[in-house]
């Protein structure tokens, strides 16, 4: 007859450990998917519901949520092609700025039997993929060219081609006097290395031949958003600053370039003192006169100014911390700007080296502290630059798998309800942010998993649940229910081998007192018995735990036990409590 022992409680500390040996992770969570830690215990993360009915043109790479002065809610979204505003019901409006507009006379040339139309405009400045809009055209070659079209090719400086969508009935030139609008040129959807003549280091390849490799990196287009009262301000890397006023509603006109604003903006943000800060090419920071984002030239009677930074090769992003402090990141360092009210307006100092920002969207502020994902580590600034606590639990896992060529698409967001920060990043071999690292700011425990999301935003008060964009061009409200837009979400967590009776002898594992708070749906639990941590398993058993189960019978043995819990059913949810493992001696001495 076997001897029974007191139940062994399973009380692993919070946080997943992805980078240590079997002995170090003994009794720790070692893998998880769509789980978070709340008050030290893991629970399934919330579900999501699709909000949009119309997809975006290109993946949304940045979102921003704000309210106007009448508390009407809006959300802005930017892709490599378009700038959108969404109403509260997520009706989508294209507010992409225009680069040019005017009239042309008889610009179209058609070819019988072909849908390709050549357009003559001596100063068009268009690129393949750009959007052009015509109105007021008369028929030419049997075609009436009104509405938006995509530029197919450019032929020299004075002509480009479009696809009319139908074949012309004759060779002809005409169209009458038309009105045209040219949207700002598209950017790159993902980071690419430029090839061709002159690309790459000097001396690579032969003269006049295209390069097979390059060090010239073309950044993906990333928008920066902020709101100046009710007004949305936006910029994309390599462009200027644009404003859009909700008072234009219901017309939803285009965003308009801000007069006198810099034209080489890499990122834009607004300080608590109502300065618009433009991070520009050449490591230059410009800011407008206080409260007037149309005044950018320093002079008597205004507070506009400019500052050149040195530690790094390019400016990446900035955030206001509050208390008259703002952070500006380069690819190498952090700078601290402090409002002084003096003639120079801001003092600036180097906050830290070797802590540059990996992407514009990876800096997050919460409760007066800045947190960010760098090129090789996670950092915080609360008066000095530090590594985020417990980062070694996850650092090698994240950065060892990071797709460095597309890391510029990584992003992060503060989740107010759970006091967490989540970073989405691109793993090697992937082309979209498909992995996440989740930091609990209460106990600095980490969670990790996989989910493809390209951008996120949340309102700062009221309902602060996050809205995240998917690679399908839709926006989803997260932390809504427990299912993924009506489908089951697979959530799981795995415990590393945990010692029974200090691993002194082999024991029978007879059962477990289930303790799963608010369990909904069945849980699939796989228990594994181990003799030695680096040896083969002794036994494995998979059971189904229903919401009404109390004591779950098991029949396996080992010195150590590990388990994996999985919910993968509609309506499934659980929070891990304090289960007890029932053990007894199996009479075997080792």
Indicate whether 196 belongs to any domain: no
Residues 495 and 542 in one domain: yes
> Looking at residue 80, what DSSP letter applies?
S
* pLDDT of amino acid 533: 66
Whether residue 370 is found in the same domain as residue 293? yes
| 442 and 337 in a common domain | yes
Nearest C-alpha neighbor of 348 from the set 407, 284, 296, 404: 284
Three-state SS across 140-156? ECCECCCEEEEEEEEEC
What tens digit of pLDDT does each residue of 306-337 get?
999 999 999 999 999 999 999 999 999 999 99
| Exposure on the CB side of residue 379, measured as CA atoms within 13 A | 27
Residue 487 to residue 229: CA distance in whole angstroms: 39
Q: Is residue 141 part of a domain?
A: yes
Domain-ending residue, one of 478, 502, 527: 478
Nearest-angstrom CA–CA distance, 495 and 511: 17
- Whether residue 281 is found in the same domain as residue 387: yes
Does residue 272 sit in the same domain as residue 147? no
Task: Output the pLDDT for position 209.
Answer: 42
pTM of the complete model = 0.93
Q: Which two tokens stand for residue 134?
A: 């015509």
Domain assignment present for residue 1? The answer is: no
The band of 502, judged by pLDDT with boundaries at 50, 70 and 90, is low
249 lies in the same domain as 119: no
Please report which confidence band the pLDDT of residue 500 belongs to, taking 50, 70 and 90 as the band edges.
low
pLDDT digits (tens, 9 = 90+) for 262-288: 999 999 999 999 999 999 999 999 999
122 and 266 in a single domain? The answer is no
For residue 146, what pLDDT is reported? Answer: 96
Helix, strand, or coil (residue 345): coil
Query: How far, in Å, CA of 488 to CA of 502, rounded?
Result: 39
Residue 483 in domain: no
- List the structure tokens of 51: 């909000």
For residues 532 and 559, the answer to whether their CB atoms sit within 8 Å is: yes
Q: What is the CATH number of the domain that holds 565?
A: 2.60.120
Q: What is residue 558's predicted lDDT score, i.e. its pLDDT?
A: 82
Q: What is the C-alpha separation between 361 and 358, in angstroms, rounded?
A: 9
The CATH number of residue 146's host domain is 2.40.30.20
Same domain? For 362 and 468 the reply is: yes
Say if residue 167 is in the same domain as residue 242: no
Over 60: is that where the pLDDT of 212 sits? no
pLDDT at 199 over 50: no
Instruction: Please work out, in degrees rounded to the nearest 5, the angle formed at the alpha carbon of residue 162 by the alpha carbons of 99 and 256.
Output: 15
Residue 398 within a domain: yes
pLDDT at 584: 82
Give yes or no: residues 132 and 263 share one domain: no
Tens-digit pLDDT profile for residues 389-406: 999 999 999 999 999 999
Number of independent structural domains in the chain: 3
Burial 352-381 (b: 16+ CB within 10 A, else e): beebbbbbbbbbbbbeeebbbbbbbbbbbb
How does residue 261 score in pLDDT terms, banded at 50, 70 and 90? very high
pLDDT in tens, 60-114: 999 999 999 889 999 999 999 999 999 999 999 999 999 999 999 999 999 999 9
Listed residues 478, 509, 533: the one ending a domain: 478
Tell me phi and psi for residue 295, to 5 degrees: -110, 110
**pLDDT single digits (tens) 117-142:** 999 999 999 999 999 999 999 999 99
Residues 138 and 243 in one domain: no
- Pairing state between β 159-163 and 147-155: antiparallel
The reply to whether 110 and 84 lie within a common domain is no
Tell me which of 423, 451, 478 is where a domain ends. 478
Q: Is residue 292 part of a domain?
A: yes
Q: Assess if residue 203 is contained within a domain.
A: no
In a domain, 590, yes or no: no
Q: What's the CATH code of the domain at 274?
A: 2.130.10.10
Give the range of the structural domain holding residue 496, as residue numbers without chain letter: 8-46+489-585
* Residue-by-residue DSSP string for 508-521: EEEEEE--EEEEES
SS3 at position 182: strand
pLDDT value at position 251? 76
């Amino acid at each position: 007859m076997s001897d029974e022992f007191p139940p062994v409680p399973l009380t692993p500390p919070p946080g997943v450990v992805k980078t240590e040996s079997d002995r170090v992770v003994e009794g720790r969570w070692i893998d998880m998917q769509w789980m978070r830690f709340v008050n030290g215990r893991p629970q399934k993360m919330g579900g999501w519901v699709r909000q949009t009915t119309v997809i975006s043109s290109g993946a949304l790479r940045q979102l921003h949520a704000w309210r106007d002065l009448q508390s009407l809610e809006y959300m802005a979204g930017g892709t490599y092609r378009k700038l959108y505003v969404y109403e509260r019901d997520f009706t989508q409006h294209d507010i992409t700025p225009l680069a040019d507009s005017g009239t042309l006379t008889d610009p179209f040339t058609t070819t019988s039997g072909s849908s390709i139309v050549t357009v003559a405009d001596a100063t068009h400045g268009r690129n393949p993929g750009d959007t052009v809009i015509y109105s007021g055209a008369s028929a030419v070659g049997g075609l009436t060219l009104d509405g938006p079209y995509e530029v197919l090719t450019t032929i020299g400086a004075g002509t480009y081609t479009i696809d009319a969508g139908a074949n012309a009935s004759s060779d002809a030139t005409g169209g009458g006097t038309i009105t045209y609008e040219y949207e700002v040129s598209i950017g790159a959807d993902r980071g690419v290395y430029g090839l061709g003549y002159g690309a790459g280091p000097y001396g690579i390849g032969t003269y006049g031949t295209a390069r097979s490799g390059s060090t010239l990196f073309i950044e993906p287009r990333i928008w920066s958003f902020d709101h100046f009262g009710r007004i949305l301000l936006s910029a994309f890397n390599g462009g200027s600053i644009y404003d859009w006023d909700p008072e234009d509603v219901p017309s939803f006109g285009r965003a308009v370039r801000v007069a006198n604003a810099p034209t080489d903006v890499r990122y834009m943000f607004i300080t608590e003192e109502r300065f618009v800060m433009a991070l520009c090419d050449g490591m230059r920071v410009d800011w407008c006169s206080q409260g007037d984002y149309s005044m950018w030239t320093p002079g008597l009677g205004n507070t506009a100014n400019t500052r050149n930074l040195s530690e790094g090769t390019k400016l990446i992003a900035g955030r206001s911390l509050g208390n008259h402090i703002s952070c500006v990141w380069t690819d190498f360092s952090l700078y601290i700007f402090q409002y002084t009210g003096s003639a120079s307006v801001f003092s600036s100092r180097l906050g830290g080296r070797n802590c540059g920002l990996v992407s514009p969207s990876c800096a997050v502020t919460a409760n007066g502290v800045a947190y960010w994902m760098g090129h090789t580590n996670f950092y915080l600034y609360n008066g000095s630059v530090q590594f985020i606590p417990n980062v070694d639990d996850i650092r090698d896992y994240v950065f060892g798998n990071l797709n460095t060529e597309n890391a510029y698409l990584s992003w992060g967001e503060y989740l107010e309800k759970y006091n967490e920060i989540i970073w989405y990043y691109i793993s090697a071999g992937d082309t979209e942010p498909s992995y996440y690292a989740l930091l609990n700011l209460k106990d600095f425990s980490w969670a990790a998993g996989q989910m493809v999301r390209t951008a996120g935003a949340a309102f700062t008060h009221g309902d602060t649940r996050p809205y995240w964009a998917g690679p399908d061009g839709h926006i989803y409200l997260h932390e809504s229910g427990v299912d993924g837009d009506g489908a089951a979400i697979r959530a799981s967590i795995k415990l590393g081998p945990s010692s029974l009776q200090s691993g002194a002898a082999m024991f029978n594992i007879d059962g477990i007192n289930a303790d799963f708070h608010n369990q909904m749906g069945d849980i699939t639990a796989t228990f594994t018995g181990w003799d030695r941590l680096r040896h083969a398993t002794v036994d494995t058993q998979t059971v189904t735990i229903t919401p009404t189960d109390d004591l779950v019978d098991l029949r396996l043995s080992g010195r150590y036990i590990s388990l994996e819990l999985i919910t993968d059913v509609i309506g499934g949810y659980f929070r891990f409590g304090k289960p007890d493992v029932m053990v007894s001696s199996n009479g075997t001495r080792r």
